[in-house]
Each structure stands twice: as structure tokens, then as C-alpha cells.
Amino acid sequence: MRVGLKWKLMGFIGVLLLVTLTVLSLLVLQGIKDNQLRGREQSLQIQAELAGKQVRQMYITGERTAPEEFMQRRGQELAVTLDSYNLTHVLIYDRNGRRVGNSSPMEIAIDARPALEHALNGKIAYITEKNKVEYFAPLPGPEGLLGVVQLGISIQEDQEFYQYIERLFLLVGMIVTVSGLLFGYWFVARQARAIRKLMSAADQIGDGRYLQSPVLMRGDELGELGRQIYAMSGTIEQQVARLETEKRKLQEAVERLELLEQSQKQFINNFSHEFKTPVTSIKAYADLLGMYNDDPGLIREATSNMSKEAERLSGLVDQALQLSLLNNYEPFASHPEPVDLAVLLEDACGRMNGKALKFGIMMHLDLSPVRVFADRDNLLHIFINLLDNAIKYNVPQGQIRVSSALEHRQAVIRISDTGIGIAEDERERVFEPFYTVNKDRSRASGGTGLGLALVKSLVEKQNGSIRIEGDQGQGTKVTVVFPAFEQHEP
């Protein structure tokens, strides 16, 4: 059976009170008894000395006779005289042990022979019986022992006082024990309530319900423990929140990895198919040329188609290199230098203008001189990729607008088109590797979903940022921002 701490403490307090009161009572009662005994012994010793002096004086001043004869003649007189000292009775013996005086002839005699013989040998002896004490003392004379005096004294008052004190201790002990137990119960119950509060707080923390304030506001150890539990609750809450955040991040990372894995699988399947198609076409035309090498029309057709398929295969190789670069950017080692973006953008637009005209797309430039401190080749790669996307995902006879400006000490480049646009929920995902908004359009244009992922990495490598705006079907606007380069005169 489980016994609670409260009852254990109550039992301890009860036992402690009983032991303390018992020991204290025994010590006090023993002290009283010893004090009464010493008092009686001193009183009887004084009376015995007085009796001895009186006997010697009577023996010296009286007629000189033998000690036995003197005690025989004067013993009764001496007993009566000594009885006036508040004694119950006085007995006088000669030196041969014969009783020669009795102040109370009616008193029942007790068997006192052993004590009498002890006194006849010159020693003090006494007998305690019921409520009386019989004291035996030798009576010395000038020529030796004259006899023995037996002094009887009542100890009833002492016994009554002792019993009164004994009853008083019992009553006080009961009162103190009951009071102590009641006070101890109140005190222990108060401490037990505090401990239960602390236990409840610990259970609450274990259930994930953290404390909003200290459990106990006290100035003792339990109060300090309550404050420590409250502090521990806050620490655990912070740690759990941090773990929950990390768990969420890990879950998001796993989800992104799963999506990336799916995109990679889809990319590999598409890429394998796309790689296989031009190779198969080139091989077929090569076989035809071997078989019909004297047909000029077939030669022209085969040459033209093989050239197109080779160009397509070259583009696929470039995309494979981009995939490698996306995993290792060392080939894009940065060599920063002051670059005029207006000049660089004009160069990039000139390179892509032929492709734009092929699809009937017009480019409009609004370039203001603004310089940045960045790697020129990386910047060129960024803008050519963005212009290429603006062409590939535009509509026939569409338009592209390119601008550069200095705004709040930042170089801001905007490239907008009139193409298919991007839905709002996909604007961030287009920067993920292998992700494409329109898979049919990407496949038709040779897109793999790597371009914008690589562009974002290069932009961030140049301490810049990139964002995409525009709704689906309403065109796309890409904004790239770099810190402007400000050259200070020496």
C-alpha cells in the first residue's frame, strides 16, 4: 500500500513528539525524585546529628554509668524528646541492639534487623516502605558507640507531589501532542499542497501545456523550485518550438527533394528522348546518302535536315553542360570589374535580335547608363537567358521591352514581354531546377527548366536579386537588381 508523504511526515512528527515528551518527563520526574531523596537524607542526617549531640551531652553531664545502663535508663526519655522534630516516631537501641526507647509504642514495628546491624557497625542505613522511610544512624559516645537511633519520617507528601507532577506531565503531554499533531498536519498539508502543485506543473509540461507564470510565489526552497520549473518550462517550450520549426523545414526540404526527383526523372526521360531523336534522324539520312548518293535533291534535303538536327543536338549538349554547371559553379569563376549595363544589354539584345526577328518579335530598348561591379561573362549569360525565354515564350508578332536605370543607388534592369505569362503560384517555382510552366511549349522550344535556376544562382552570386511579375496570358516582366557601382575620385 502506498503511503503519502503527508502521512509519513505526520507519523514522524507524532513519534518525535512522543519520544521528546517521554524523555523530558522521565528526566524531570527522576530529577524530582532525586531532589526529594537528597532533601530527606539531608534532613534526617541533621536530625541524627542533633540526636547524637544530645545523647553525648546527656551522657557526659549525667551520672557516669556504663553505656548499656545509661541507654537503658535514658533511652525512652531521649526517644520522646527527639520525636518533637516532626518525625513519625523515634526508636532508640543500645549498642547490643536492644530497643531501649520508643516514642510511639502503638506503631507497628517492621523487620529492621539488617539495617540495625549495619548501623551498629557505624554506618548509615535506611529502609523505604510504602509511604515511610526508616533511617538508622549510630550514636557515638566519648568512649565508643553508645547505640543506634531509628528515625521514622513520612514521605506521603513527596509521593503525592510526585504523582501530581506525573499526572500533570501526562496531561500536558497529551495537549502538546494533540496540538503538535494539529499544527503539524496544517503545516504538512500546506507543504503537500505546494508539492502537488509542482507535480501538477511537471505533468502539465509533460503534456505539452507550458507554464505562463511561476507555480509558487514563496521565499523558501519550494518557491525556488517552482521558479526553476517555470524557467525549465520556458526553455523546453523554446526547444520544442525550435524542433518543430526544424521538423517543418525538413518536411519542406523532403517535399522539395521529392518534386526535384520527379522533375529530374521527367527531365531525364525527355532529355533521353530528345537526344535519341536527332541522332536517329542523322543516322537515317546518313544511311540514305550512302544508298542514294547520286540524287542531288536527296543530298540537299539530307544536308539541310542533318544540319538542323546537328544544331538541335548541339543545343541539347549545351543544356547538359548547364545541368553540370548548376551542380558545380566553378566553371563560372567570378572576375568582377566595372561594367556598363547599358552597353552590355545592347550587346546581348543584338545577339538575340536575329532569333527574335525569326519569330516576328520586335525589341524596344530604353537604356540609361548605369554601372555595376560584377563579372561581365556571368552578366551576359544572365541577360541572354532572360531574352531567350522572352522570345521562346512570346506570341507571334509579339514585343520585348528592355530598360536599365539607376534607382536609389541600385541598378535596375527590366525585361518584359507580351507572351504567355506565369501564374502567381508558379512564379517562385520557375527558379527550381527542371521545373517548366508549359511542358509542351518547353519541349517544342528545347527548354529543360534549367535556365532560370542557373540565372538566379548567377544573379545571387553577383550580390543581386531577381523577381518575376505578370499574370498568366498577360505577359511576363523580369526585374533584376544589382548594387550600383560608384567610383570615387581620388
Q: In the β-sheet with 477-483, what is the strand arrangement from edge to edge?
A: 362-367, 399-407, 410-417, 477-483, 465-469
How far apart, in whole angstroms, are the C-alpha atoms of residue 140 and residue 131?
29
Q: In this structure, are residues 146 and 54 in contact, taking their beta carbons and an 8 Å threshold?
A: no
Q: Please, where in the chain does CATH 3.30.565.10 lie?
A: 333-483
Q: Would you say 416 and 401 are in contact if contact means Cβ atoms under 8 Å apart? A: yes
Residue 157 region by backbone torsions, left for phi larger than 0, else alpha for psi between -120 and 50, else beta: alpha
Q: Which fold has domain 5-163?
A: Beta-Lactamase (3.30.450)
Strand 362-367, strand 371-375: pairing: unpaired
If one compares 481 and 201, the residue with the highest pLDDT of the two is 481
Q: Around Cβ 420, how many Cβ atoms within 10 Å?
A: 19
Residues contacting 84, CB < 8 A, separation 6+: none
**Averaged confidence pLDDT in the chain:** 80
The closest alpha carbon to 391, from 339, 348, 424, belongs to: 348
Write down the pLDDT at residue 87. Answer: 64
- Highest mean pLDDT (candidates 107-111, 281-285, 352-356): 352-356
The C-alpha cell that represents 372 in the structure block: 555595376
Please answer whether residues 388 and 355 qualify as being in contact, where contact means their C-beta atoms are separated by less than 8 angstroms. Answer: yes
**Which one is the CATH code of 216-328: 1.10.287.130, 1.25.40.80, 1.20.58.740, 3.90.1300.10?**
1.10.287.130
C-alpha to C-alpha distance for 423 and 425, rounded to whole angstroms: 6
pLDDT at position 321: 65
Which triple of cell numbers denotes residue 301?
Answer: 534535303
Range 446-462 average pLDDT: 75
- What local confidence, expressed as pLDDT, does residue 146 receive? 85
Q: Does domain 333-483 have CATH number 3.30.565.10?
A: yes
Interval 217-232: pLDDT, tens: 777 777 788 888 888 8
Q: Which pLDDT band holds residue 433 (cuts at 50, 70, 90)? A: low
**SS3 category, 110:** coil
Q: How confident is the model at residue 134 (pLDDT cuts 50, 70, 90)?
A: confident
Q: Is 60 within 8 Å of 204 (Cβ atoms)?
A: no
The set of long-range contacts for 128-136, using a CB threshold of 8 Å and a minimum separation of 24, is 128/155, 131/155, 131/156, 131/159, 132/88, 133/40, 133/44, 134/110, 135/44, 135/48, 136/112
pTM: 0.44
Span 259-282, mean pLDDT?
68
Which residues lie closer than 8 Å to 429 by C-beta, 6 or more apart?
Answer: 435
Cα-based angle 4, 5, 9 (whole degrees, multiple of 5): 125
Q: Does 191 score more than 80 pLDDT?
A: no
Does the structure show a pLDDT above 90 at 338? Answer: yes
pLDDT reported for residue 322 = 61
Residues of the chain within CATH 3.30.450.20 domain(s) are: 5-163
Neighbours of 282 (CB within 10 A): 19
CA distances from 280 to 245, 274, 284 (A): 51, 10, 6
pLDDT digits (tens, 9 = 90+) for 100-118: 888 877 766 667 788 888 8
Range(s) within the chain of domains with CATH label 1.10.287.130? 216-328
3-class state of residue 488 by DSSP:
coil
Rg (CA), the chain: 62
**pLDDT at 269 (0 to 100):** 63
Q: What are the cell numbers at 280?
A: 536517329
Residue pair 413/376 in contact by the 8 Å Cβ criterion: no
Per-residue buried b or exposed e for 186-211, using 16+ beta carbons within 10 Å of the residue's own CB: eebeeebebeeebeebeeebeeeebb
Which of the pair, 252 or 333, is modelled with greater confidence?
252
Q: Tens digits of per-residue pLDDT, 382-410?
A: 898 899 888 888 888 899 999 999 998 99
Residue 25 binned pLDDT confidence (cut-offs 50, 70, 90): confident
Minimum mean pLDDT range among 45-54, 182-191, 301-310: 301-310
Cα(469)–Cα(435) distance, rounded to whole angstroms? 17
pLDDT in tens, 355-373: 888 888 999 999 999 999 9
C-alpha cell, 273: 528522348
The set of cell numbers assigned to 377 is 561573362
- Which residue in 180, 193, 201, 208 sits closest to 12, CA to CA? 180
> What residues form DSSP beta bridges with 100?
none
353 vs 348: CA distance, rounded Å: 9
Question: Is pLDDT larger for residue 323 or for residue 470?
Answer: 470
Residues in CB range of 361: below 8 A, 6 or more apart: 391, 394, 396, 397, 398, 399, 400
Answer whether residue 480 shows pLDDT above 90.
yes
